[in-house]
Structure 1
């Protein structure tokens, strides 16, 4: 029996290969990736890669958007010079961060990074004006200090001299798209991360905007993804259609999730690990709030019910600090180190952006009366086992929220190259783990463009295309599972201790870039 994807292919016919550029930018790097679609399978090729990261400006951690635009344009020109006829391009990035424009469309102030400490204390201030329950019921978004809600609250409190000149707020991918096409646009999936969008209506919540003294006029209506919005004129590739896809990188990644049915938990594994399920409705019950689960927007008006987990950011920083070891070497050293000697709570605020990650991990272990890691392998083992335990914690929470039975975990993104962590995840959660594809955000970006170009019709067909195009690997849980015997220890160290509460103010107020 033919799938809906194969039927669609037969009905359409196919006269030439479609080529799309996915501009996929994460918090630490960006890529321009060429997608080629022959009507049956999808192939990808990296054309250009560049670094990304916050820079200090005026005492704040900011994004260098001029640099990112130069790199984006360079990647587009590489495609054109190589002789590719490009049908479309689209941009996906991280969420919550934004750019402010004046009435002439020029940038005001800097694009401050979510890792800046300007939002410290903002949650507590707003809690005195409105209950967390009210915010969560309205938005369905988990409480994180760096959400757009708290960034704007900090900005309105500071009120720089250009504040009254603001005419428009654009989230980062929309701003980069505007600089290419000249079209100002607001894409739904990225806008949903702000904690300002009402999850029931899909409109900006007027009460929350009034609470932080931000005019509703700053915001364009949030538009569903996978549509064409304009053009970019390339020197070498000519006029290229610009699409607005699911521009939050995790939303793009989940669009490319090669699964059917509703029994799978996903993890989008990279700098962050985003772990969750898809739902047709927001799950913003008191139980969901107690788990601090977020309901971010997805393609076709779906909700990504998930938790943000401090992912490979932990090992990325440790690798920089030791310097002489590659990630692959750290994984091998972790395998050779003793198991379950030291554990951390990956999502503790002290790991968000410490002066030194290794020192932060050692401090945590001392304060929780554990063995303090010293060697690169001990640090890596501590991080990977702690992440696996955190995956188990979220797995158990999602099983309480989901009415139907959850049977497996599917991991996508660059983190799947860490096969050791994949196996630890299967062992910790006690279920099968499947992995692939690696470049999920870019692949989802390309699939969104194919929908915008009317080459495929739906997310379901996109996922069938991904299944037909990229390999999937499976990991089974170990029969001699030691994780359960150490679960109580992880639960204990995950609770805030008086020592860490007393030291938290000092650590979070000394945040610097590593």
Structure 2
């Protein structure tokens, strides 16, 4: 290959978005962020929404910058985002209102409503998805019970990356991995569970067929091609759920490997050939989300670095400005045994005064609340590492095999303190990186669709040679065991 193949990955997270330019020379992949932009929700009289038009404008700017890099063409573009959120469009293709943010309060109580109508066991058996109020199923149920006129006006439901692909090309397609996060897709058929939705009174006329990752949607729309300068680019649907893309870039292989996709959320799990929908899986509330090649990501959502993000924002509102690096440094310097809590306490789900909520959670269990900024962040990171161990131990029981290595990918892999705590408390070797896993996985799928990689089986070797991970060996000893024992005692888990 005389000239590297260039492709652009658009990766939207809950806090920011970026356009990443990848170049593949046939053996190694390099990535460079060409544009980063904030992703701040809008609180309107109707609730908490995503500013999708603003994000789309930022994506176009990122593609313009990508087209100017190096002077060689961008061959393809693909978009990945978070899961569960969706847009509705009418029969003309027009967007019906701004999509809601999954942290909007409208879904409060909807899990109980669905369970009363259908039953918790049946919902899990049919969908295999973890019960969380943010899920699309409960968003649609809230709209149905509220008589939202948008449901009847809608001609098509598009997950967030589906909508952005439509705006880029004029072609609509609903990708499978993101659709599986909705709790509206059957694990038996891989298609929408219309019977389940019908029993909850949710309309299904706007649900289309699903397409696999790697689907080529065709070229950019002429106006987009002209505006961005990416005239030769095709739009390739990656694994559009960001975690599915991140897991595609995990450099480890084998049945003893687990992963933590670490960012705003921490997704702790394994790759499996079939979903786990047993009673044991329901008891620990795991989720079975779609992956590449029809695989499943058997995992559990843990609240993740959202907690630190909200601590930072609360401090900033009070006039104290800290970078994430500074917060981590203070956490590393904090002395004494940290107060501990369950990161998945429902009180932490919504935006707000996270330091006050953490203090309250600690006091409820008879602990002294953290008194310093460093102490609060250390309590958070240690509690996260403890929850990771709890999930990994439960997955071992569920799958009947030992998980000896944990690959931490995503932005959280840069947090050396969290990686070291995870190794110590879980008693497992932690491999950190790549930090850009989501964009890398997105790019690998594009390169496969373009014919420059054979299959997902090629991905780990490319990732290892391109982005060597850093190892953290466990060394916490009895102190780490005592911390975990104390965490289980205060959380009741």
Give the match for residue 431 of structure 1: 428
Matched residue, 2:472: 475
Deviation at 1:158, TM superposition (A): 1.3
Q: 1:84 aligns with which of 49, 56, 72?
A: 72
**Cα pair 1:226 1:245 within 8 Å, conserved:** yes
User: Quick check: 1:146 aligned with 2:143?
Assistant: no
Which residue of 2 is the match for residue 11 of structure 1? none
1:312–1:415 contact (8 Å) kept in structure 2? yes
1:197 aligns with 2:185: yes
- Deviation of 1:354 after TM superposition, in Å, equals 4.3
- 1:453-509: CA deviations, max 9, x gaps? 11111111022111110121101111534121133321232249xxxxxxxxxxxxx
Q: Does 1:183 align with 2:171?
A: yes
Secondary structure, aligned partner of 1:482: helix
Partner of residue 244, structure 2: 251
For structure 1, the residue ranges without an aligned partner over 5 or more in a row are: 1-13, 497-514
Alignment partner of 1:171 out of 151, 159, 162: 159
Partner Cα separation in structure 1 for residue 146 and residue 313 of structure 2: 34
Determine the structure 2 residue equivalent to 1:273: 266
1:217 to partner: Cα distance: 2.5
Alignment check: 8 A CA contact 2:310 2:352 kept? no
Any unmatched runs of 5+ in structure 2? none
- The answer on whether the counterparts of 1:141 and 1:294 sit within 8 Å (CA) in structure 2 is yes
Shift of 1:90: 0.1
1:35 equivalent in alignment to 2:22: yes
Q: Partner of 1:509 in structure 2?
A: none
SS in structure 1 at match of 2:424: helix
1:137 aligns with 2:125: yes
* Runs of 4+ off more than 3 Å: none
Provide the C-alpha distance between the structure 2 equivalents of 1:454 and 1:214, rounded to a whole number of angstroms.
41
Report deviation, 1:110.
2.3
Partner residue in 2 for 1:288: 281
1:306 to 299, 313, 325: 299
Among 12, 23, 32, the residue aligned to 1:45: 32
1:101-500 mapped onto 2 (5 Å cutoff): 101-232=89-220, 233=222, 234-235=225-226, 236-323=229-316, 324-478=321-475, 480-495=477-492
In 1: Cα distance, 2:384 partner to 2:336 partner = 14
Cα drift, residue 431 of structure 1: 1.2
Task: Tell me the secondary structure at the aligned position of residue 215 of structure 1.
Answer: coil
Q: CA deviation at 1:401?
A: 1.3
3-state SS of paired residue (1:284): coil
Instruction: Report the counterpart of residue 56 of structure 2 in structure 1.
Output: 69
TM-score, length of structure 2 as denominator length: 0.96
TM-score, length-scaled by structure 1: 0.92
1:332: Cα distance to partner? 1.5
Number of residue pairs matched by the alignment? 483
Q: Compute the RMSD of aligned alpha carbons.
A: 1.3
Is the counterpart of residue 18 in structure 1 residue 22 in structure 2? Answer: no
Q: Separation in 1 of the partners of 2:43 and 2:307? A: 21
